[in-house]
Amino acid sequence: MMGDWKKGEASAQSGFGQRVGDATTRPNGGNCYACHQMTKKELSYGTLGPSLLGYGKVRGNSLAMVKYTYEKIYNPHIYSGCSNMPRFGHNGILTPEQIADAVALLLDPKSEKTTRVTSFSLPIRLISFMNASIASETYISRR
């Protein structure tokens, strides 16, 4: 279930496919950076999905984690029916090989996404939301 992390990086960077005018002879990309932060070097990334900085470093690369990560990319609705993440495999956007490459990008110890990350960051919006939740809980408990 783990492929080549270098191919996974190329696919994660590519936003090609599923658009009007895209050639069907070229493989689709995952466009992961549109929703996720995957490296500190990336200047422009989306915050719709969670940060994937250090994904493999934090979770390890056990067989269970490889299977979970593959399934989460293939069909995230298995774990959350209201997920905003596209069902890349289920809808045929990415091939099984491309998904295996993405898994390797996140979990392979040789991948820079796994070995070079030293901290985890949350988007500012989430931190603000968490602080507001804590403040409201404190207010409610003091009443």
CA distance 102 to 29: 10
CA–CA separation, 115 and 51 (whole Å): 15
pLDDT at residue 135 is higher than 50: no
* Average pLDDT value over all residues in the chain: 79
Q: Is 109 exposed, middle or buried (0-12, 13-18, 19+ CB in 10 A)?
A: exposed
* Mean pLDDT on 1-6: 89
Residues 5-54: pLDDT tens digits?
A: 999 999 998 887 776 777 777 788 888 989 999 888 888 888 999 999 88
Kindly write down the DSSP assignment for every residue of 10-32, as one continuous string: HHHH---SSSTT--TTSPP---G
Of the candidates 53, 79, 58, the one whose C-alpha atom is nearest the C-alpha of residue 68 is 79
Phi-psi sector, 16: left (phi>0), alpha (psi -120 to 50), beta: beta
Q: Is the pTM of this model over 0.85?
A: no
The dihedral region occupied by 54, where left means phi > 0, alpha psi between -120 and 50, and beta the remainder, is: left
Model confidence at 134, pLDDT cuts 50, 70, 90, reads: very low
Judge whether 52 and 36 are in contact, CB under 8 Å: yes
Total residue length of the chain: 143
